[in-house]
Structure 1
């Protein structure tokens, strides 16, 4: 039995420069639909966000979008979702992601993706939630970031235990497996 029922996927409102990013987004969404894992995401229909939503819906899965009113037009809100939550601020958006999801997965993305990752990680560190997070390292996209976080740890600003929380997977299957195992531990009361 899976512990992961809903997964927040952070990713770009653009497709990125490498076609593999979109291919992996489709693969991830297909696996999620097959395993009955709902998508929680930014609510847009462009870029990797739109690819994730369209793919999971086409496969019979469910997609829950969370988008601030100010971004409905800019990110071109996806109105064909299982449910689209419109919120006032980015803070409310990230709080809703945390409320709805059992874990967080980052595909390649820009500053918005990084902002969402850091808030999920910080909230975990502060004890606001006990949910796991993982980077899907498509074609080595996250390697420079992981190296920087090692540097932050080595400089004494991040504990080894906190750094170890940042899961990194090379495939969608591995990412879901790692997140599911970590979510299961969290459900058993193990501090993740």
Structure 2
């Protein structure tokens, strides 16, 4: 594992623990010698995780659509800021750059991004781990919803269980390093970029 993509809020949230864990996450990813891949923002938890990784001497690659860069929310101090044309191109680039996907607290965009990677993983488009840092129980309700999906027959237990939940980033990185993916749902070949 050489890199971790972090999905998290472009807002700070209202619990100081969210910001604290973003700082811990950036610091630990850098100290583990991993590249941080993220959405390229200077605001909210996104900015906090990037600033912490940079302060710890890490490499940070941001990916952001030009429209958002033009609104001056792009981080100007990154190792690399890749400017793309669309949100979809952004997600694709982040997925290509990362060896695993880690969620800190965030809103609808954060959920959408990690659920796409989980879907791609269970279909066999990639074999990279997907996980959540469950700061103060932030992801408890989502974890229960995923279990309800399995209990209701909309996914199988092995695919619900492939998601990693950790109380902190250090635990998540350990779990990522030990991750063994289940067999893909339909044994599909890796997806190619076609949109």
Question: CA, structure 1 residues 148+74, in 2 after alignment: closer, same or farther (shift >3 Å)?
Answer: farther
Equivalent runs, 1:144-159 vs 2, <5 Å:
144-159=141-156
Aligned residue for 2:3?
6
Is 1:108 equivalent to 2:75 in the alignment?
A: no
* TM-score between the two structures when normalised by the length of structure 2: 0.90
CA contact (8 A) 1:44 1:75 kept: no
Q: Please list the CA deviations of residues 53-111 of structure 1 after superposition, one character each: whole Å capped at 9, or x if unmatched.
A: 11111111010001111221447001211111111111111111111000000000000
Classify the secondary structure of the residue corresponding to 1:180.
Answer: helix
What is the match of residue 142 of structure 1? 139
Q: Structure 2: how far apart are the matches of 1:70 and 1:165?
A: 35
- Structure 1: tracts of 5 or more residues without a match: none
TM-score, normalised via structure 1 length: 0.92
**Greater mean alpha carbon deviation, residues 130-139 or residues 118-127:** 118-127
Deviation at 1:120, TM superposition (A): 0.5
- In 1, distance between residues paired with 2:72 and 2:133? 23
Cα deviation for residue 126 of structure 1 reads 2.2
Tell me, yes or no, if the aligned pair for 2:41 and 2:47 is still in contact at 8 Å.
yes
Tell me if structure 2 keeps the 8 A contact 1:130–1:191. no
Q: Which of the residues 86, 91, 96 maps onto 2:88?
A: 91
Contact 2:124 2:183 in 1 (8 A): no
Shift of the alpha carbon at 1:5?
1.2
Partner of 2:50: 53
1:71 pairs, out of 68, 72, 94, with 68
> Separation in 2 of the partners of 1:75 and 1:131?
32
Superposition CA RMSD, Å: 1.4
Instruction: For structure 2, list consecutive stretches of 5 or more residues without a partner in the other structure.
Output: 185-195
